[in-house]
Amino acid sequence: MAGGKMSARQKMINLMYLVFIAMLAMNMSKEVLSAFGFMNEKLASNNVSTTEKNKQSYANLATKASEQSEKFGKLNEQALKIKKYSSDFYSYLNELKSKMTTDIEVKTDYESMDKTDFLDTYFFKGDGFTPEGQEFLDKVNSYRTNVNTELGSGNSYESLINKRFNTDEATNKDGKVIPWLNYRYEGFPLVASLTNLTQMQADIKNTEADIVSGLLGGKMEEALSLNNYKGIVSLDKTAYFAGEKVTGQVVLGRYDATLVPNKVILNGKDATNSVKDGQVILNMSAGNVGEKKIKGTIFFKENGEDVPVEFESKYSVIAEPSSAVVSADAMNVVYRGLDNPISVSLPGVGDNNLKVSATGGRLTGSKGKYSMRPAAGNTAVINVSAKLSSGKTVNSKKTFRVKDIPAAMGSVRNQFGTVRMPKSGLSNAPISAGLPDFMFDLKLKVTGFKIKVPGQLTIIVNGSRLNAAAKQKLSKAKRGDIINIYDIKASIVGNSYKLKKVLPVNIELTN
């Protein structure tokens, strides 16, 4: 196409043809990048689903271990160790993936993830590996070795595990032997490596699922003997006034309503007629003040013989209280401008029989759960009145200190104080505000701030993002400069309370 003498027209046609071919290649490249991204999303979604299934399998095995420790105890210990190995390795991969996409604003913009720079510099140095690259390789090898060691040499999953987490050298299409890390991660687009790591996480989850299912599979066919059941006394209360009725149930550890005993002895007396839905219903006098014991035997038929299941529990009978118990759910302080959760209870008295009021603030709620919004003073008082079953009235009160909401702090990317980040990141990142370590989860909205670039005039910004003037000043900043963002204006979303102040946030430019 380029040889021989060609007219200017023919040269133009050939040039346009080459441009057209290049455009097709670019579009195909973008489609491939997007395809990797969509595959990554699918794998991530499947990992979430597999994680939930694994949780159920672990819980099922733990239940079996608690019921029959001789059968399932050792298997459960193995599963817990494999779970820890898997969780640690999975979390490490999550952190690595997070580092790979730190500077990407839109995490689903896969077409922009075509660079190979990150892992090429993070894993490799010259002809060798960086400490981070060696750490990654060691993590893969350690996981494979630890799981195989825990299951024992020659286990039925050894070949599968070795295949999934194989790090042997590979031979490329030219017949050259290449280290596994280079073969799998050097020179690949970011989105391809990201998908590769997500696939490795999927291998972890599938390995867990295969192993736990196998551990259970060999034992589930064995019948569960009733000798492994334990009787449990479940009382409605743990302490009673003298003369009260003790109410509650005696149930089997599996809480199976279909397991109905043929005989029950409770405190030396026949209580077979008190059985309902597999539970022994308790209804007896509490007795005098002091510690009491409930014990007995539930009999079941197994292989034609009575199998006894013993149960025993204790409860205390206490004297009637003389004062209420009031506690603040957050702490012994209530905050101005907020609905502070307050719990009110009186031992032995139902929530419906309590009369609760407040001074120094507005109280709302019922049945032991209230919200207090303090007034303008420095203290608020909760008053409680209750009438006991004996007819005696109990009055009590609790005083709380009233404090203002502490000063908020400016932040960028959910970081406070001095934040290190590139200039381009600051240019596009919103300025936020928060209340770190504050017990209430309040959402703050930034409406304006001032930004000071070294050697430049201070710029006033309305809203939460840098305006054109601020970006222009920021463009003149150099690496290592400290950008000061201060006089931040913020408000609490859905609340008219005026914040006292918002502390500044400083940005140290990394480039």
Q: What is the DSSP string of 139-195?
A: HHHHHHHHHHHHH-TT-TTHHHHHHHT----EE-TTS-EE-HHHHHHTT--HHHHHH
CATH class name, domain 226-318: mainly beta
For residue 427, the model assigns a pLDDT of: 93
Residue 478 CB partners (closer than 8 Å, separation 6+): 509
Residue 247: which of 235, 231, 265, 238 has the closest Cα?
235
Q: Which residue has the tokens 């014991």?
A: 293
Q: What is the DSSP letter of 332?
A: S
Query: Which candidate, 184, 178, 210, 211, places its Cα nearest to that of 197?
Result: 184
Residue 7 pLDDT class (50, 70, 90 cuts): low
pLDDT value, residue 243: 62
pLDDT at 23 over 70: no
Q: Which of 58-67, 124-133, 200-209, 313-322 has the lowest mean pLDDT?
A: 313-322
pLDDT at 28: 42
Q: Is 389 helix (H, G, I), strand (E, B) or coil?
A: coil
Instruction: Report pLDDT digits (tens) over 425-478.
Output: 999 999 999 999 898 999 999 999 999 999 999 999 999 999 999 999 999 999
pLDDT > 90? residue 358: yes
**Alpha-carbon gap, residue 221 to 219, rounded angstroms:** 6
- % of the chain exceeding 70 in pLDDT: 81
256-288 confidence digits (pLDDT tens): 454 567 788 888 888 888 887 767 888 887 776
Beta bridge mates, 420: 508
Question: The domain 325-403 is classified under which CATH number: 3.30.530.20, 1.10.8.10, 2.60.40.60, 2.60.40.420?
Answer: 2.60.40.60
Q: Which residue has the tokens 């799998």?
A: 184
The per-residue pLDDT for 322 is 60
CB neighbourhood size of 399 (10 A): 12
Mutual angle of helices 131-151 and 190-217, in 10-degree steps: 10
Dump the DSSP string for 486-508: EEEEEEETT--PPPS-EE-EEEE
Mean pLDDT, rounded, for 18-31: 49
* Angstrom distance (rounded) from CA 463 to CA 466: 8
Cα–Cα distance, 101 to 95 (Å, whole number): 10
pTM for the whole thing? Answer: 0.41
Q: How far apart are CA 503 and CA 406, in angstroms?
A: 11
Res 418: pLDDT: 95
Instruction: Tell me the C-alpha to C-alpha distance, in Å, between residue 269 and each of 72, 247, 316.
Output: 36, 17, 21
pLDDT score, position 240: 59
Residue 40 structure tokens: 């990554």
Backbone angles phi, psi at 435, to 5 degrees: -125, 75
Torsion of CA 159, 163, 166, 171, to 10 degrees: 120
Mean pLDDT, the chain, rounded, equals 83
Helix-helix angle 8-67:69-100, to 10 degrees = 150
| pLDDT at residue 502, as a whole number | 95
> Cα(first)–Cα(last) distance of the chain, in Å?
46
Cα 160 to Cα 200: distance, rounded to the nearest angstrom: 13
Residue 262: partners with Cβ closer than 8 Å, 6 or more residues away: 272, 299, 300, 301, 306
Q: DSSP label at 6? A: -
User: Can you list the positions of beta strands (E) in 226-360?
Assistant: 231-235, 239-241, 245-252, 263-266, 269-270, 275-276, 279-285, 290-302, 305-318, 325-328, 333-335, 340-345, 354-359
Pairwise pLDDT comparison (351 vs 26), residue with the higher score: 351
pLDDT of residue 17: 47
